[in-house]
Structure 1
């Protein structure tokens, strides 16, 4: 395929990052707005984790369509393209090998892909129900405001069913409290007093005092070097582009507002370091210890029925921390008695006793063990324990294999089981390949699955077939196709990747049609030997389809390069 801004393994890994909810008071947002940023945007350049305002609502399908169209429109610039040479026994030709519009479309498609109940890996906050609460020192009563934000989240979570969480019991939510201080306006002595009270109320490991805006807004003067340094621009560009998407106008209008707006005008380099320190402490003292304890609890429950290797140390893996350092953390210890599920996630009393997947009405339901195995698999995947997550996924797959041939009442049960089966096959295949990439030196032999590429590809192909033909789930079949082609690319099976893209049916006016044809064309080009004739046909066909859907910039670019053939 084309030259990538991100390698395959990085794309697969970053498609499943934890999403951290942020609940920010109005006064704290006012402080951040001095830099033309929200609090979430403020911290985003300093972390790969996905932050999201807790009041954020996923856009409607019409808005998502506009987002996907416009992200291509703004990434179809000629200066972003590059070229490479290809040859076979007859020709040697130089052509474009970079398609930034496809990568940006793919990133946004996965981001806005609908969330279903059959998987936890893309639930709100990824795997956790974990929140950062932010209040400024300028508030009349910061401690009272923190308490109100917590109560507000608890109320909203009980009423808002569109938010997908890892656990439903609010007692299991890890809460981290950030006291935001404006250096230019507030008194630091007062800030320290409030911070001490905050630590006494919620624990020192769950609180942080973040000082920002060290530079005066009125007197700031950007030098040339600092003026070009804007790590927030790429996070704010789409926000500026999409802010009018709720309007009835369907056209895409290019605006230069995001090119004129500066970000971080009041932030010094010392402020940057403070933000980095804040996020590092949040991870090492909050997110990671909480994850470790959750994994231990779920793993103990899993081991009660099956024997598996013990020992998790996320902190040691990423930060070199010892397990003894976790003992001093005041993060909430999750006990099995606290792992309360949603009513719709639990089986009836009779099904719990027998471990059955069906209740008294012969309707498909989850048992607690069933849900927790999937939670454990997703959670270990999220923190890059790919070999362990692979083991859990395969175990979960075997549980579903026992009911594949069971009699169902109505098609709804069959659909639910198929959706679970496809999802676990998809994730098992991805975990297998990431494990082979990131842990090639491992001598552990939990499963021969990681060494068997044929089984890996068989799993992802089977998942794609189930999503497409049996579940008829358009969003998840497209997502699975994107992952599948990347896996085949990783093992240099370019002809198979091209075949999957060509055979994937989409409507003529669908944006995916020219995108997939274009990528299939490049797969024909980079295979050995290069198939110039097939590339020419597919790339020309893709160009014509780009023209039909109004992507004239991409159409012209493709036709210029296609003429070389």
Structure 2
């Protein structure tokens, strides 16, 4: 069967399109033991997240995807966003406001010499590419603003799609450590309060530090892991295979992801080329062989359920007349309006997963369906959220800028 390319449109090449495809991507929650973190920190103090993040963006993959349509298409670009459980929460509003003010202030200081110089000719400005005429602070401000609004209970694209559990081969009883990692009280409130489905994809990674000796013990542990958790969901990663060397940060993939204090020219590394290659392979396999197929399957299952119960004229009339309001309302008043098991949350997951897999048509159809439900329920924050995503879907489809603008205006007014 012939396969279409990734259904990206010309808007995917614009600054906004690139930002959306960079920021609205699957989240992976990383849970690790102190021993695993210690092995990573031998390398200029890198945390596990910092170790993995440079290899979570893929520009040259070729993964076939089939969502609602029988016609597959291909994903060539994909990105994972990695977070610790402690980071999976809405940022503090006051801290966020101060951070945004600082971004603008820093931008003003940086742009002062340019503002005091002679302005460029209009013809030069019109001929210059968008990336050169856009203010340097604009992208930074947009990303900070997106992060300030992340991890809300009324949206699903920030809810972790998968969980990467990492235990060191030096940990005592590693199998029990894997089990304990997901059964702690450190999990995000979104999960504990019922907004997020606790049955998420899990991948088990055994980390072996070659500075501690031969990986023979780790290989035996891997066999035990596979018999416990399944052969396809377990992996061994060996790091620190080199003698300590001073890193050259100018050519280092971790430089954009660490603090200035970590970028010392005296930073010591124990990672060699083979270690880095294994990390790259780990992250690409996690994406292409686990997360993308998992999302694809979830979309197909949810789409079948929604099509059978909610789509079509008869189902719409039934929903309109017999709708009983917010389903599965939690007992705690501070909990989410809709729990993960409610039909509304399931449709939102379907729409957000479809958007992250670049099936914008499918995403738009489900956001439209939800828009009616939320309006009937007077769930205005949720309504504004799907109006916003409808606008972004219209934009990515490059179909109707008027519809996109109307949806964004509706979202803005409703949020207010």
TM range (shorter): 0.7 to 0.9
Q: Distance in 2 between matches of 1:356 and 1:261?
A: 63
In the TM superposition, 1:167-178 aligns within 5 A as 167-168=196-197, 170=198, 172-178=199-205
Name the TM-score, length of structure 2 as normaliser.
0.75
Name the TM-score, length of structure 1 as normaliser.
0.56
| Closer, same or farther: CA 31–6 of 1 in aligned 2, 3 Å | farther
User: In the alignment, which of 382, 391, 405 is matched to residue 420 of structure 1?
Assistant: 382
Q: Higher Cα Rg: structure 1 or 2?
A: 1
User: In the alignment, which of 161, 172, 193 is matched to residue 140 of structure 1?
Assistant: 172
| Closer, same or farther: CA 358–151 of 1 in aligned 2, 3 Å | closer
Q: Distance in 2 between matches of 1:164 and 1:283?
A: 28
Q: Is the 8 A contact 1:72 1:102 kept in 2?
A: no
Distance apart, 1:162 and its partner CA: 7.8
Distance apart, 1:261 and its partner CA: 6.0
Distance apart, 1:147 and its partner CA: 2.0
Deviations 1:364-407 (A, max 9, x none): 96593333222211111122111110111122223445x3xxxx
**Root-mean-square deviation (Å):** 3.7
2:111 maps to 1:111 = no
| Closer, same or farther: CA 137–92 of 1 in aligned 2, 3 Å | closer
Q: Which has the higher contact order (CA 8 A, sep 6+)?
A: 2
| Closer, same or farther: CA 378–66 of 1 in aligned 2, 3 Å | same
**Paired position in structure 1 for 2:95:** 63
**Paired position in structure 2 for 1:299:** 303
Deviations 1:86-111 (A, max 9, x none): 427xx999xx8353333212212211
**Paired position in structure 2 for 1:393:** 367
Deviations 1:31-74 (A, max 9, x none): 00011211011010011311111233655334334433445566
**Paired position in structure 2 for 1:288:** 292
Deviations 1:439-469 (A, max 9, x none): xxxxxxxxxxxx33322222212222222xx
Structure 1 gap segments, 5+ residues each:
241-256, 309-350, 404-412, 437-450, 473-565
Distance apart, 1:119 and its partner CA: 2.2
Distance apart, 1:122 and its partner CA: 2.7
Q: Match of 1:151, SS? A: coil
Deviations 1:479-533 (A, max 9, x none): xxxxxxxxxxxxxxxxxxxxxxxxxxxxxxxxxxxxxxxxxxxxxxxxxxxxxxx
Q: Match of 2:25, SS? A: coil
Q: Is the 8 A contact 2:246 2:267 kept in 1?
A: no
User: In the alignment, which of 406, 412, 415 is matched to residue 464 of structure 1?
Assistant: 412
Q: Is the 8 A contact 2:28 2:82 kept in 1?
A: yes
In the TM superposition, 1:350-365 aligns within 5 A as 354-357=322-325
Q: Distance in 2 between matches of 1:435 and 1:110?
A: 21
| Closer, same or farther: CA 399–207 of 1 in aligned 2, 3 Å | same
Q: Distance in 1 between matches of 2:291 and 2:171?
A: 27
Which range moves more in the overlay, 78-87 or 392-401?
A: 78-87
In the TM superposition, 1:465-480 aligns within 5 A as 465-467=413-415, 472=416
Q: Distance in 1 between matches of 2:390 and 2:404?
A: 8
Q: Distance in 1 between matches of 2:192 and 2:148?
A: 14
| Closer, same or farther: CA 140–92 of 1 in aligned 2, 3 Å | closer
In the TM superposition, 1:207-356 aligns within 5 A as 207-217=234-244, 220-222=245-247, 226-237=248-259, 257-260=261-264, 265-306=269-310, 354-356=322-324
| Closer, same or farther: CA 116–139 of 1 in aligned 2, 3 Å | closer
Distance apart, 1:163 and its partner CA: 6.6
User: In the alignment, which of 188, 209, 213 is matched to residue 182 of structure 1?
Assistant: 209
Q: Match of 1:37, SS? A: coil
Q: Match of 2:237, SS? A: strand
| Closer, same or farther: CA 303–264 of 1 in aligned 2, 3 Å | farther
**Paired position in structure 2 for 1:25:** 33
Q: Distance in 1 between matches of 2:241 and 2:267?
A: 14
| Closer, same or farther: CA 61–384 of 1 in aligned 2, 3 Å | same
